[in-house]
Amino acid sequence: MTGGFDPSIHPHRRRNPLTGEWVVVSPQRTTRPWQGKTDDNGVADAVDYDPECYLCPGNERAGGITNPDYDSTFVFENDFAALLPGVPVPESAGGLYEVGGGDGVCRVICFSPKHDRTLATMDLDEIGVVIELWQSQLAELLEEYQYVQLFETRGAISGSSNPHPHGQIWASKFLPNEVVVELDAQRRYRAEHGSKLLVDYAEQEVDSGERVIVQNDHWLIAVPFWAYWPYETIVLPRRPIGSLLDLTTDETEALADGLRTMLRAYDRLFNTPFPYCSGWHTAPRGEHGSWQLHAHYYPPLLRSADVAKIPASYELLANLQRDLTPETAAANLRDVL
């Protein structure tokens, strides 16, 4: 039965073309009462220097190394890296006991020496320096590694172990799971349509406008049609670009402005420093043909500063599900721009 369907009130499913996964959208549940877990979001009093912070300039890190008195960005090898360079390749028994190598490198990027700064509160030229650092690290690491993941985990509720403004870089000689899935989808789309999946998607989102948060001459930031997290966003260039290394000066400046505008809307939404997991999906080495550069932002907050979405039993066992429609989420974010 399709007659009378209204996506703003009726449950339905939406497919993510990058992963093939379906998301159940249940807008009729947005008024359900909440008596579950709340969280203070890990927000502390703002100070520009914390003598106990292992990322502030001049302080000793948890691994025993002292930071330099840096005055801009700062990159160092993660003291507790998940991947290590030059490790032996394990022998795999195959079958149900297949094993692969974990060769890689993990680095930390401090975005600012100021403990209380964030990408949302930094000056545009400071954000530009961060983007340029992403680019230089990417160029260096792609010389040796197949894939480089640039990411940021912000807020205790998202899993951040330190509030100092920072991100991470993990480079690996293998393609991570999500990248394999997205690469396959983009290759198949290019073979079938002769164009890039996310370029076509961006054009359709601009034409629709209902999920767009920020757009300028070079970038689009929108809540994806298939979004799973309540206020999830995707950052897309307006022209075919495979890598952060391909950006022009104008595109870099426009990206800094677009990101800051979107992140400030996040912070205004519930009047709190908005937690999120985010990262750039930039082309794996040698894969520029079908790959389109993009960034994902996955914030957990659902209806207030202290109520977060946590994947529960049905989602872990059966199917991803959300209550708030992506269109409503986008409208809420536009209202606080």
Q: Could you confirm whether 218 is annotated as catalytic? A: no
pLDDT band at 38 (very low <50, low <70, confident <90, very high): very low
Locate all alpha helices (DSSP H) within the chain, ordered by sequence. Answer: 124-141, 177-193, 197-208, 249-269, 313-317, 326-335
pLDDT surpasses 50 at 48: yes
pLDDT band at 36 (very low <50, low <70, confident <90, very high): very low
The C-alpha R_g of the chain, in whole angstroms, comes to: 21
Contacts of 258 (CB under 8 A, 6+ apart): 214, 215, 216, 219, 221, 235
Asked whether the beta carbons of 152 and 278 are under 8 A apart, the reply is yes
Domain 74-172 and domain 176-335, same fold? Reply is yes
Q: Tell me the per-residue pLDDT of 121-158, one tens digit each, with 9 for 90 and over.
A: 999 999 999 999 999 999 999 999 999 999 999 998 89
For residue 84, what are the β-bridge partners? 103
Asked whether the beta carbons of 59 and 51 are under 8 A apart, the reply is yes
Q: Tell me the per-residue pLDDT of 235-273, one tens digit each, with 9 for 90 and over.
A: 999 999 999 999 999 999 999 999 999 999 999 999 999
Q: Out of 115, 164, 166, 218, pick the active-site residue.
A: 166
Q: What is the mean pLDDT of residues 76-90?
A: 94
Domain 74-172 has CATH 3.40.50.620: no
What's the confidence (pLDDT) of residue 32? 63
Whole-structure pTM over 0.85, yes or no?
yes
Which comes out higher in pLDDT, residue 309 or 209?
209
Provide the residue type at 76 as one letter.
F
Q: Tell me the per-residue pLDDT of 99-119, one tens digit each, with 9 for 90 and over.
A: 999 999 999 999 999 999 999
The 3-class secondary structure across 238-264, one letter per residue, is CCCCCCHHHCCHHHHHHHHHHHHHHHH
Q: Could you tell me the two tokens for 7?
A: 């996506």
Could you tell me the residue ranges of all domains in the chain? 74-172, 176-335
Angle between helices 326-335 and 249-269 (to 10 degrees): 90
Burial class (CB in 10 A: 0-12, 13-18, 19+), 238: middle
Which comes out higher in pLDDT, residue 310 or 245?
245
pLDDT surpasses 70 at 40: no
Please tell me the distance from the alpha carbon of residue 264 to that of residue 274, in angstroms, as a whole number: 9
Residue 288: phi and psi, rounded to 5, are -75, -20
User: Considering the chain, what is the average pLDDT of its residues?
Assistant: 94
Looking at CATH, the fold of the domain delimited by 176-335 is given as HIT family, subunit A (3.30.428)
pLDDT surpasses 80 at 34: no
Asked whether the beta carbons of 34 and 40 are under 8 A apart, the reply is no
What's the confidence (pLDDT) of residue 161? 86
pLDDT band at 46 (very low <50, low <70, confident <90, very high): confident
**Residue of 145, 151, 148, 146 whose CA lies nearest to 168:** 151
